[in-house]
Amino acid sequence: MTANGEAAGGLGTGDGEALVALVGAPNAGKSVLFGRLTAEYADVSNYPGTTVETTAATVGSTRLTDTPGVHGISSFSEEERVTKEAVLEADAVVNVVDATKLDRDLFVTLQLLDMGVPTVVALNMMDELEADGVDVDVDALEAALGVPVVPTVAVTGSGVDELRDRLPEASAPASTPVDSYYDALPDAVEASRAEKTLLVEGDEPTARRVAARGLVADGGDAPLADAGAREAVYRERRSRVRSIVEAVEREAGPGRAAEQRLGDLLMRPMTGVPIAIGLLAAVFYVMGVVVAQRVVGYAEGVLFDRYYNPAVEAVVADLLPGGEWAAPVEFLLVNGNLGLLTITVQYVLGVLLPLVVAFYLAIGTLEDAGVLPRLAVLTDRGLSRIGLNGRAVVPLVVGVGCVTMAVISTRMVGSRRERLIATALLGLAIPCSAQIGVITGLLAGLGLAWWVGYLAVLLGVLGVAGVFLDRTLPGRAEPLIEQLPRLRVPRPGNVARKTANRSAAFLREAVPLFGATAAAVSTLDYVGALDAIVKGVRPLTAALGLPPSFGRVLVLGLIRRDFAAAGMTDMALSASQTFVGLIVVTLFVPCILTMAMILRERDARSALLVWVGSWVTAFTVGGAVAAALEVIA
Ligand SMILES: Nc1nc2c(ncn2[C@@H]2O[C@H](COP(=O)(O)OP(=O)(O)OP(=O)(O)O)[C@@H](O)[C@H]2O)c(=O)[nH]1
Ligand SMILES: [Mg+2]
């Protein structure tokens, strides 16, 4: 059974699994419901656009798919295409509607019903509807739509059982007002009702698909209705939405104003900027002082230095018999620079993991509270000068956690042009959490003035690079159209779960990569090739006033940025050398994982632009800073 027309009902009646898709507006609660219905976790955040790809899980005889949020079933963006495909494949849809935004969300509901897709409506966020002092007549809504409507509160699980029970009742009305437009399609188009509706609405991918089937009899003609049809259908649908909302919604009491006021405070520069600075300061206190210095300091200085490393060295020495082949193996496993079993483990578990966990906890809390998009509105003015809009705040902030992940989140930044700018800035001048930890540690030793200087240089580079890209790339910045999520109290369970998932993903990626890097670098080291490379880049390091051993840091930096920063901890450098070194390491090329992600999300040209640009920027800015420091001194 597919979503193809006739008034359909029942589910899973045929052989095999029934495909059910969760579909609805961004931030309506689809992913929370997905988690409730399947016991699998899909990323949940309190901002629109969290889900960008489908996630599926099987429960009993049903295969449930979580989809990216959309305001319509169409193909204007990548997310919409993904969701449209999921809808066309599905046997039935659970349409997740934010009860507090009926006028916005029922458009998709009616569109699904016009398409003849068997649907059950989950009327979610009922708790917030009540808090707003609004009442929705669920029975009247059900009657108006002609399909089951189940009130839910996804975060508490209320209504979820009923939703599951009523899934088999998924249906669509037998006829639709869009029927009358089907005549506008070329004769002899053989397509399902869902496809016909999309054709009337001018959906090109559907037209191509229908044409490719060879079902257009008179050849040549594109199986689309004329351009006016979409407008007419949309207008008619919006007016149906309005009359339904008028019929089912009524004021039931005073709404809450406190949340609104707090939200406004966050977005007004006078109050928002201090609040934002306070929040960032809190994050950096936790990251830079509590975790980077205390936790990491204890892990490195006590756990690894005193207990773990000596113990492993002793065991390896014991187990390896003497003999000439044993020496390189022992070097590989336990050498003091990057031993596979000692220093590498120490870097990953003792340094990076605590920082990464702390960072994800902090960012997860902000994500859940709905603070990030308000920061977006706040920073929109500044960012629009560098060719971006405020939505780029989220990728840039996520980038401070992990640039690789941030590259994925640039999908929410709008046009290709903005994505490229955001990606380039991320690759260039945003240090990742793993690196920040080490950087914070090194700068803390130098004093506050150096910290401020470091931030100033980075912001300067971000600004100049942004303005440069903005001026040189074709096109222009898009205005911010942001659906603000509500402010919500973060849910500790969700934050913990998300942190655990992200940290596990970090380990899965970092461990093999670190292992391979450490083995490769140790091998180069053992055979003396590392020294040769280090000699080769000596002119560069000398130009920066850095010792030759900094070349080793650069080699590490080609693979992982945090690796490079960590490599600096063991060098004897003066304050200004440390400063210049950190600037270079921060601006230097993105790690291998980020490069792979840029290739996946953008293209080879963008990747090359970022990589080469990083080399040039790192050494130009590093050189300039070194020269300036010399003048001052
Ligand atoms: N108060 C309340 N909050 C909810 C409810 N359902 C979801 N939320 C919150 O709404 C936010 C968005 O939830 P998600 O499940 O990520 O929304 P989504 O529909 O998957 O959003 P996209 O992936 O962006 O399309 C999160 O902060 C949830 O905790 C609900 O019934 N009541
Ligand atoms: Mg989602």
Does the C-beta of 390 come closer than 6 Å to ligand 1?
A: no
Q: pTM (2 decimals)?
A: 0.76
**Average pLDDT in the 396-407 region?**
72
Higher confidence at residue 226 or residue 72?
72
CA of 31 to the centre of ligand 2 (A): 4
* pLDDT confidence tier of residue 190, bands split at 50, 70 and 90: confident
Query: Crossing angle for the helix pair 138-145 and 102-114, nearest 10 degrees?
Result: 30
223 in ligand 1 pocket by Cβ < 6 Å?
Answer: no
Residue 3 lies inside a defined structural domain of this protein: no
Q: 523 and 433: one domain?
A: yes
Going by C-alpha positions, the residue among 508, 530, 510 that lies closest to residue 520 is 530
Give distance in angstroms: CA of 36 to centre of ligand 1. Answer: 12
pLDDT tens figures, 447-468: 788 888 998 999 899 889 888 8
Of 144, 169, 194, the residue at which a domain comes to its end is 169
Ligand 1 neighbour 50 (Cβ under 6 A): yes
Residue nearest to atom 16 of ligand 1 (CA): 44
Identify the pLDDT of residue 22.
98
Q: Is residue 157 part of a domain?
A: yes
pLDDT band at 556 (very low <50, low <70, confident <90, very high): confident
CA of 493 to the centre of ligand 1 (A): 14
Q: What is the mean pLDDT of residues 39-67?
A: 87
3-class secondary structure, 6: coil
Residue having the nearest C-alpha atom to atom 14 of ligand 1: 29
Contact status, residue 551 vs residue 529, Cβ threshold 8 Å: no
Q: Are residues 454 and 555 in the same domain?
A: yes
Q: In 3D, which of 150, 168, 384, 433 has the Cα closest to residue 283? A: 433
Task: Determine the Cα–Cα distance for residues 50 and 41; give it in Å rounded to an integer.
Answer: 13
* Whether the predicted pLDDT of 289 surpasses 80: no
Residue that is last in its domain, among 125, 151, 169: 169
Count the Cβ atoms, other than its own, within 10 Å of residue 78.
Answer: 12
Which atom of ligand 1 sits closest to the CA of residue 44?
16
Ligand 1 atom at shortest distance from the alpha carbon of 70: 25
Does the C-beta of 69 come closer than 6 Å to ligand 1? Answer: yes
Average pLDDT, the chain: 84
Q: Do 291 and 144 belong to one domain? A: no
Mean pLDDT highest for which of 186-195, 443-452, 460-469, 616-625? 616-625
* 355 neighbors 432 (Cβ within 8 angstroms): no
Q: Which residue has its alpha carbon closest to ligand 1 atom 9?
A: 29
Atom of ligand 1 at shortest distance to CA of 35?
15
Residue 324 lies in a domain: yes
Report the C-alpha gap between 435 and 456 in whole angstroms.
18
State the CB neighbour count (10 A cutoff) for residue 324.
6
Residues in the chain: 633
Q: Which residues face 65 on adjacent strands?
A: 21, 56
* In contact, 119 and 87? CB cutoff 8 Å: no
- Please tell me whether residues 194 and 295 are part of one structural domain: no
Q: What protein residues have CB closer than 5 angstroms to ion ligand 2?
A: 30-31, 50-51
Please give the Cα distance from 154 to 595 (Å, whole number).
Answer: 37
Helix (H) or strand (E) holding 151: strand 149-151
pLDDT at 14 over 60: no
Q: How confident is the model at residue 104 (pLDDT cuts 50, 70, 90)?
A: very high
- Distance CA(524)–CA(193), nearest Å, equals 64
Q: Do 247 and 277 have their domain in common?
A: no
Placement of tokens 């052989």 in the chain: 15
In percent, the amount of the chain with pLDDT more than 90 equals 35
- How many other C-beta atoms lie within 10 A of the C-beta of residue 263? 18
Structural domain contains residue 315: yes
Distance from C-alpha of 310 to C-alpha of 296, rounded to nearest angstrom: 18
How much is the pLDDT for 5? 38
Per residue in 138-175, pLDDT (tens digit) is: 999 999 999 999 999 999 999 999 999 999 999 999 98
> Do residues 539 and 422 share a domain?
yes
In a domain, 584, yes or no: yes
Whether residues 64 and 120 share a domain: the answer is yes
Asked if residue 48 belongs to a domain, the reply is: yes
Q: Answer with the one of 207, 222, 251 that is the final residue of a domain.
A: 251
Mean pLDDT of 238-260: 86
Is 6 inside a domain boundary? no
Place of tokens 């022992």: 330
Is pLDDT of 343 > 70?
A: yes
Annotated binding site: 24-31, 38, 49-53, 66-69, 124-127
3-state secondary structure of 427: helix
Of ligand 1's listed atoms, the one at least distance from the Cα of 158 is 31
From the CA of 69, how far away is ligand 2's center (Å)? Answer: 7
Q: What are phi and psi of 399, to 5 degrees?
A: -60, -30
The CB of 81 under 6 Å from ligand 1? The reply is: no
Domain count within the chain: 3
Atom of ligand 1 nearest to the CA of 152: 31
Whether residue 627 is found in the same domain as residue 548: yes
Contacts of 566 (CB under 8 A, 6+ apart): 347, 351, 438, 556
Instruction: Note the pLDDT of residue 479.
Output: 64
Residue 84 identity (one-letter amino acid):
K
Q: Give the residue, out of 155, 494, 501, with the most ligand 1 atoms within 8 A of its beta carbon, to mutate for a pocket test.
A: 155
* Type of residue at 114: D
Tokens of 242: 């309005």
Which ligand ends up closest to the CA of 44?
1
Atom of ligand 1 nearest to the CA of 66: 20
Whether residues 303 and 412 share a domain: the answer is yes
| DSSP β-ladder status, 62-66 and 18-24 | parallel
The DSSP code for 411 is: G
Domain of residue 236, residue span: 177-251
**Residue 203 forms part of a structural domain:** yes
Nearest residue (CA) to ligand 1, atom 32: 125
Q: How confident is the model at residue 31 (pLDDT cuts 50, 70, 90)?
A: very high
Question: What stretches of 359-416 adopt beta strand conformation (E)?
Answer: none
- DSSP-assigned letter for residue 342: T
Q: Name residue 55's beta-bridge partners.
A: 66
SS3 23: strand
Same domain assignment for residues 238 and 387: no
Pairing assessment for the beta strands 62-66 and 55-59 based on DSSP bridges = antiparallel
Give the number of other Cβ atoms within 10 Å of residue 448's Cβ. Answer: 9
CATH of the domain at 103: 3.40.50.300
Q: In this structure, are 337 and 229 located in the same domain?
A: no
Q: Residue 243's pLDDT band (boundaries 50, 70, 90)?
A: very high
Q: Is the pLDDT of residue 90 over 70?
A: yes
Indicate if 230 and 161 belong to the same structural domain: no
The ligand whose atoms approach the alpha carbon of 412 most closely is 1
